[in-house]
Chains A and B, each alone.
Chain A
Amino acid sequence: MTTALFLLFSILALTFLLALPLGLYAARVFAGERVWTSPLLAPLERAVYRLAGVDPANEMDWKKYATSLLLFNFAGFLFLYLILRLQPLLPLDPLHLGAVPPGSAFNTAVSFVTNTNWQDYAGETTLGPLAQMLGLTVQNFLSAAVGVTLLLPLVRGFVRHETDRLGNYWVDLTRTVLYILLPLSLVFALVLVAQGVPDTLTALVRAHLVFPFHEGAHLVRHQAIALGPVASQEAIKILGNNGGGFFNVNSAHPFENPTALTNALETVAMLLLPATLLVAFARLARAPGTAVALVIATLLFFIPLALLSAHEELSPNPRIAVLSVAQHPSPRLAGGGNLVGVDDRIGAVGCALFATAATATSTGAANCAYDSMMPLAGGVNLFLMQLGEVVFGGIGTGLASLLAFAVFAVFLGGLMVGRTPEFLGKKIETFEMKMVSLSILVMPLVVLVGTAVAVLSPAGRASVGNPGPHGFSEILYALTSPGNNNGSAFGGLDAATRFYNILTGVAMLLGRYWVYLPLLAMAGSLARKRTVPVGAGTLPTHTLTFVVLLAGSILLIGALNFLPALVLGPGADQALLMTRAAHAALVRRAAP
């Protein structure tokens, strides 16, 4: 556990160390100011506006902003769907992998446009270099930038007053891509290559085995090694909280995550932009105290859950303990603990902390088989997503949801003292609360109803890969993850069926647009209001009281909605593990 503590705190320290300067930089980018990269990027930015016919000075109201967002996303969906369907007709498909089937292409296109990156395909056997670059990498950038465009109008809604202008959608989008995502990804991609992540247009190398072996009656003399432009995609997959892997097993693959160092850096990179946006928010909203309160509330969930997951992964599996197998934590045993579905260079602790970061943020990447995690560690994954992706959360969307919970918290506080609640100088009234409730409650509805549908239908149950309560956990996970635009999975469930393609596709769409469009509407209403001065009845939002109120609201909603499902899944699974083990121990003691 000492290793876990050291690793966790160095990851968090590095994240915030990088997020501070980056957040201040990002705030200037979002405000449209000149930054130190402007001499290089401003000409490119201007050229993009000229060619696209964008007038950057032309600001939009919330409806125009939302329409632009939807149009842009629809264009992205169509483009990606066509690339996947038309793969055989397009260049750069050296292995002739063929067209992606319609169900899978629909699911994948929705998945990448909504920043979910749920993988129903195996990258190395489905997509050639062109589809990976022009198809997936493009959406990795754009869907992350779209996340930022869901946050910025909300922040402006609080800051601006007596206006209906919330910014120019095209400018927010373009500046996020050019000034933030591209430079960061370029640097990170090269760091990854330096550690061994390949980046090449060669799609496959045939190695001649020095040690051929028999598989059945067949002598295997060669190893086909899948390659490709991995590093460029890996960098934005992690930084952009996307999570859709180049390879089937995602960041567990040695080409996506070759060393212990890349593993730690990828964990930091998942947290980096959500943390950066918290810093940028402090600057843009001129509310550093409130931002600190939001960070503390976030860490109040993140740290204990990360440590719980690490503790569970390091606990010996009682079923294996009865065999002659060494599994106690020790550096000599690759860290020991639960190594089922974990590569040795990563270890159980590396797996647990990566999983926590991947499910706390909306990345959903995986560096180990989440389905093989100990029941409660898998439960931590589920719970973090079910909190509504607010513990760090997705790029932009995480902070937007956290702000929705903050509004909900001051509303609760206001009810207690009988005053009209305010947040960041804006009165919170009926319309705002309606939009916040809609945003908070749609997700549980989608996830729980979806799970019920899947559990009740034969097609939903047929895909399950593990028996008992764990099978239920798999189904719950398969709805929780798309419903929260996370994208991680319990891989034992076969999600590449028509049933799950459609069900998870719909969950992703509802989880993205039904959750965030109400917040855009709220931003429109907030911006029109006058800013009220701080009075005696104002609940200050930089105090411990607010932190407790906020964390309490998040926990209350998350726990109330999902506790029954969590008890039926990971809870029952853990009980099963303990009781059978106790039973086996009794049997052994009884036998002389």
Chain B
Amino acid sequence: MFRSLSTTVRLFLLLAVVSGLVYPLAVLGLAHLLFPAKSQGSLLVRRGRVVGSALIGQEIIRPRYFWSRPSATTPVPYDADASNASNTAPTNPRLVADIRRRLARLEHADPGAHGPVPIDLVTTSGSGLDPDISLAAAAYQIPRVARAGGLPVRTLERLVSAHTERPPLPFLGPPVVAVLPLDLALHRLYEKEQKGRR
């Protein structure tokens, strides 16, 4: 009995070291060596400061920029230290109430918009950190951004298609638009224009 107890403990500790230290540290080292930016979280740096991650969405609700999807994280939306979903069931009356509220907010920002609103713009994502919107959600916002930012629709369409990501095979997943990189590019465009005017 004592022998098998000691075998148990020794074997457990050995396998724990192999799988809990050697393995993760090997992955860590190789990841760092082979994919230096991706292993650190695909961080976006602007003027020497980290401004976000290309993979993590941010709350953006200014009329001159493309909005992200609603987020269910607390205490603030897009809290990347507290990922969460709303977990609202399809039959929960709260779902419809939430969607109505978000529809009203979109209408308030752009009273001229008509046609049905793309579903991803009025529902929260699975992570609360969804970095993307659908092609329809981007197209829906172009008239508003064009008007508020004073940019031609053609320019915005080109910008959106430059930030559209398509999976390597079409059936793997839907094409999406990465919001934060798109808005940062838009931001640079606005800055350039301002400088030109001065």
A interface, CB within 8 angstroms of B: 2-3, 6-7, 10, 44, 48, 51-54, 67-68, 71-72, 75-76, 79, 122, 124-125, 133-135, 137-138, 140-142, 170, 173-174, 177-178, 181-182, 185-186, 189-190, 193-202, 204-211, 213, 215, 220, 223-227, 229, 231-233, 235-236, 247-249, 252-255, 258-261, 263-264, 317, 319-320, 323-327, 330-336, 338-347, 350-351, 366-369, 371-375, 465-470, 490-492, 573, 576-577, 580
Contacts and interface: CB of A to CB of B under 8 A. Distances in A.
Given A44-B18, A224-B79, 10 more contacts: A7-B171, A141-B23, A205-B43, A207-B52, A210-B46, A229-B24, A232-B24, A232-B27, A232-B28, A326-B119
A258 B42 CA distance: 11
Given A261-B168, A263-B173, A253 B127 contact: yes
B117 A137 contact: no
Nearest to B43: A205
A141 B20 CA distance: 9
27 contacts: A6-B171, A52-B7, A71-B8, A142-B12, A142-B16, A174-B11, A190-B31, A193-B27, A193-B31, A194-B35, A196-B54, A198-B39, A211-B59, A211-B60, A224-B81, A227-B40, A229-B28, A252-B85, A258-B55, A323-B103, A325-B117, A331-B170, A338-B90, A345-B131, A369-B85, A468-B92, A470-B89
A45 B98 CA distance: 57
Contacts of B34: 190, 193-194
B152 interface: no
A470 B85 contact: no
B13 to A, nearest CB: 8
Contacts of B165: 259, 345
Interface in B118-162: 118-120, 122-137, 139
Given A137-B23, A325-B117, A375 B80 contact: no
A351 B161 CA distance: 25
Nearest to A255: B55
A181 B90 CA distance: 39
Nearest to A202: B40
A200 B10 contact: no
A170 B11 CA distance: 8
Interface in B6-38: 6-12, 14-16, 18-21, 23-24, 26-28, 30-32, 34-35, 38
Contacts of B133: 334, 344
A225 B80 contact: yes
Given A10-B171, A224-B81, A327-B119, A193 B38 contact: yes
Given A177-B15, A576-B91, A248 B50 contact: no
The 9 closest A-B pairs by CB, nearest first: A260-B173, A252-B126, A492-B87, A369-B85, A260-B167, A334-B134, A138-B20, A6-B171, A232-B27
A204 B40 CA distance: 10
A21 B93 CA distance: 51
Contacts of A174: 11, 15
B86 A369 contact: yes
B88 A334 contact: no
B41 A122 contact: no
B31 A319 contact: no
B128 A249 contact: yes
A170 B7 contact: yes
Interface string B164-198: 01011111111110000001100100000000000
Contacts of A342: 125-126
A366 B22 CA distance: 28
Contacts of A345: 130-132, 165, 173-174, 176
